Structure 1
Amino acid sequence: MNPIDATYLPAGIRSRFVDDINGLRIHVLEAGFESTGRPCILLLHGFPELAYSWRKLMPLLAAAGYHVLAPDQRGYGRTTGWSADYDGDLGPFRLLNLVRDALGLVSAFGYRAVDAVVGHDYGSSVAAWCALVRPDVFCSVALMSAPFSGPPSLPLGTADRPAIAKLPDTIHHDLAALPRPREHYQWYYAKRQANGDMQHAPQGVHDFLRAYYHHKSADWAGNGPHRLQGWTATELAKLPTYYVMDLGQTMAATVAAEMPSAEAIASCAWLPDRELAFYAAEFARTGFQGGLQWYRCNTTGAFAAEYETWSGRSIDVPSVFISGRQDWGIYQRPGAIEAMQSAACTDLRGIHLIDGAGHWVQQEQPDEVARLLLAFVPQAAGR
Structure 2
Amino acid sequence: MSLPGLPPGVSSRRIDNGNGLVMHVLEAGPEDAPLLLLLHGFPELAYSWRKVMPLLAAAGHRVVAPDQRGYGLTTGWTADYDDDLAPYRMTNLVTDALGLVTALGRTRVTAVIGHDFGSPVAAWCGLIRPDVFRAVVMMSAPFAGPPSLPRPAPDEAIHRALAALPRPRKHYQGYYATRAADADMRYAPQGLAAFLRAYYHVKSADWPDNRPHPLPGWTAEALATLPTYYVMDRDRTMAETVAPHAPSPEEAAACSWLTEAELAVYAESFARTGFQGGLDWYRCGVDPEIAGALALFSGRRIDVPATFVAGAADWGVYQVPGAFEAMATRASSDFRGATLIEGAGHWVQQEQPERTAAAVLAFLEGCANR
Please give the range of the TM-score, normalised by the shorter of the 2 chains.
Answer: over 0.9
Q: Does 1:86 align with 2:74?
A: no
Quote how far apart the aligned CAs of 1:288 are: 0.3
Q: Is the CA contact 1:328–1:359 (under 8 Å) kept in the aligned structure 2?
A: yes
CA RMSD of superposed structures (Å) = 1.4
Alignment of 1:175-194 (within 5 A): 175-194=162-181
Q: Does 1:95 align with 2:82?
A: no
Q: Which moved more, 1:80-89 or 1:304-313?
A: 304-313
Task: Return the alpha-carbon distance in structure 2 between the equivalents of residues 121 and 166 of structure 1.
Answer: 25
Task: Return the alpha-carbon distance in structure 1 between the equivalents of residues 195 and 45 of structure 2.
Answer: 16
The partner residue of 1:16 within 8, 13, 16 is: 13
Q: Is the CA contact 1:115–1:381 (under 8 Å) kept in the aligned structure 2?
A: no
CA spacing shift, 1:354–1:136, aligned 2, 3 Å? same
Task: Return the alpha-carbon distance in structure 1 between the equivalents of residues 290 and 59 of structure 2.
Answer: 39
Quote how far apart the aligned CAs of 1:20 are: 4.7
The partner residue of 2:68 within 69, 73, 86 is: 73
Task: Return the alpha-carbon distance in structure 2 between the equivalents of residues 27 and 167 of structure 1.
Answer: 36
Task: Return the alpha-carbon distance in structure 2 between the equivalents of residues 299 and 343 of structure 1.
Answer: 21
Quote how far apart the aligned CAs of 1:169 are: 3.5
State, as a whole percentage, how many aligned pairs show the same letter. 63
- Helix, strand or coil at the partner of 1:291: helix
Quote how far apart the aligned CAs of 1:166 are: 5.1
Give 1:13's aligned amino acid: V
Give the corresponding residue for 2:99: 104
Q: Does 1:248 align with 2:235?
A: yes
Quote how far apart the aligned CAs of 1:70 are: 0.2
Give 2:106's aligned amino acid: Y
Quote how far apart the aligned CAs of 1:346 are: 1.2
Q: Is the CA contact 2:341–2:355 (under 8 Å) kept in the aligned structure 1?
A: yes
Give the corresponding residue for 2:246: 259
Give 2:10's aligned amino acid: I
Task: Return the alpha-carbon distance in structure 1 between the equivalents of residues 280 and 75 of structure 2.
Answer: 15
Q: Is the CA contact 2:154–2:288 (under 8 Å) kept in the aligned structure 1?
A: no
Give the corresponding residue for 1:198: 185
Give the corresponding residue for 2:353: 366
Task: Return the alpha-carbon distance in structure 2 between the equivalents of residues 226 and 8 of structure 1.
Answer: 34
Give the corresponding residue for 1:294: 281
Q: Is the CA contact 1:6–1:14 (under 8 Å) kept in the aligned structure 2?
A: no
CA spacing shift, 1:119–1:211, aligned 2, 3 Å? same
Give the corresponding residue for 2:225: 238
Give the corresponding residue for 2:331: 344
Task: Return the alpha-carbon distance in structure 2 between the equivalents of residues 281 and 89 of structure 1.
Answer: 26
Give the corresponding residue for 2:138: 143
Q: For residues 250-300 of structure 1, give each alpha carbon's deviation from its aligned partner in whole angstroms, at most 9, with x where no partner exists.
A: 100111010101111111111111100111010111100000000000111
Give the corresponding residue for 1:63: 58
Task: Return the alpha-carbon distance in structure 2 between the equivalents of residues 382 and 72 of structure 1.
Answer: 32
The partner residue of 2:46 within 51, 54, 59 is: 51
Quote how far apart the aligned CAs of 1:381 are: 3.7
Q: For residues 96-119 of structure 1, give each alpha carbon's deviation from its aligned partner in whole angstroms, at most 9, with x where no partner exists.
A: 100000000011111101100000
Greater CA radius of gyration, 1 or 2?
1
Give 2:62's aligned amino acid: H
Quote how far apart the aligned CAs of 1:8 are: 3.4
CA spacing shift, 1:382–1:107, aligned 2, 3 Å? farther
CA spacing shift, 1:168–1:197, aligned 2, 3 Å? closer
Give 1:90's aligned amino acid: L
Task: Return the alpha-carbon distance in structure 2 between the equivalents of residues 27 and 306 of structure 1.
Answer: 29
Quote how far apart the aligned CAs of 1:7 are: 4.2
Question: Structure 2: which 5+ runs fail to align?
Answer: none
Q: Does 1:317 align with 2:312?
A: no
Q: How many residues align?
A: 370
- Helix, strand or coil at the partner of 2:147: coil
Task: Return the alpha-carbon distance in structure 2 between the equivalents of residues 71 and 86 of structure 1.
Answer: 23
Alignment of 1:319-334 (within 5 A): 319-334=306-321
- Helix, strand or coil at the partner of 1:278: helix
Task: Return the alpha-carbon distance in structure 1 between the equivalents of residues 22 and 368 of structure 2.
Answer: 30
CA spacing shift, 1:225–1:304, aligned 2, 3 Å? same
Give 1:131's aligned amino acid: G
Q: Is the CA contact 1:146–1:329 (under 8 Å) kept in the aligned structure 2?
A: yes
Quote how far apart the aligned CAs of 1:342 are: 1.9
Q: Does 1:115 align with 2:124?
A: no
Alignment of 1:145-224 (within 5 A): 145-155=140-150, 169-224=156-211
Task: Return the alpha-carbon distance in structure 2 between the equivalents of residues 378 and 167 of structure 1.
Answer: 41
Q: Is the CA contact 2:328–2:337 (under 8 Å) kept in the aligned structure 1?
A: no
Quote how far apart the aligned CAs of 1:153 are: 1.2
Quote how far apart the aligned CAs of 1:176 are: 0.7
Quote how far apart the aligned CAs of 1:382 are: 4.3
Give 1:254's aligned amino acid: T
Task: Return the alpha-carbon distance in structure 2 between the equivalents of residues 375 and 179 of structure 1.
Answer: 47
